[in-house]
Amino acid sequence: MSESNPYEIIKGPRFKASNGFETTPQRSALMSKIRSTNSVAELLLRKALWSQGIRYRKNVPTFPGKPDILIRKNRLAIFIDGEFWHGYDWDNKKQKLKTNRDFWIPKIERNMQRDKSHNKILETMGYTVLRFWEKDVKRNTERCVNDILKLINQ
């Protein structure tokens, strides 16, 4: 992200042939399998919360960032972020990107910037924002549920 102006919107090249990006049918098929909703991690966390008696809304489009789980009663917005798309360990991963760096670095940094912006907006709306990495939900769903229950039971 831009060090000189943290409020500057990061702009990256669009993913189209005129920018030098060619998409093969195999790549297209692979990318179409990436889910934006109802991922394995989302389903795990939602089922665990439901079994605890926690009622929620999912992917509410009227809220900034379209939270994966929204618990209005307790004013909680929960996101489950994929490691690649949201920049987990970004300083190390950025160095390891080998192909299409000019596309992926601004793309992921823009995602990270947008996540921060959505967090701030939701907080000004009076919501507590929780973000879990997908791998953490898959490996330790119980801990994630306990983190949520702690906030609910305050």
| pLDDT (tens digit per residue) in 16-35 | 665 556 667 776 777 677 76
Amino acid 20: pLDDT: 54
Assign 71 a pLDDT band (cuts: 50, 70, 90). very high
Tell me the percentage of the chain whose pLDDT exceeds 90. 65
Average pLDDT over residues 79-87: 92
Q: Does residue 1 surpass a pLDDT of 60?
A: no
- 65 touches 77 (CB < 8 A): yes
Q: Is 139 helix (H, G, I), strand (E, B) or coil?
A: helix
Would strands 57-58 and 76-81 be described as parallel, antiparallel, or unpaired?
A: unpaired
Tell me which CATH code domain 36-152 carries: 3.40.960.10
The rounded distance, in Å, linking the Cα atoms of 35 and 86 is 14
Write out the DSSP string of 72-138: TTTTEEEEEE-HHHHTTTHHHHHHH--SSHHHHHHHHHHHHHHHHHHHHHHHHTT-EEEEEEHHHHH
- 27 versus 80: which is more confidently predicted? 80
Average pLDDT over the chain, rounded to an integer? 87
Amino acid 27: pLDDT: 67
Amino acid 12: pLDDT: 65
Assign 97 a pLDDT band (cuts: 50, 70, 90). confident
67: its two tokens: 């939270």
pLDDT in tens, 100-129: 888 889 989 999 999 999 999 999 999 999
Amino acid 132: pLDDT: 97
Q: Where are the domains of the chain?
A: 36-152
Q: How far is CA 107 from CA 86, 113, 114, in A?
A: 10, 10, 11
Amino acid 2: pLDDT: 46
Burial string for 61-73 (b: 16+ CB within 10 Å, else e) reads eebbbbbbbbbee
Q: Does residue 138 surpass a pLDDT of 90?
A: yes
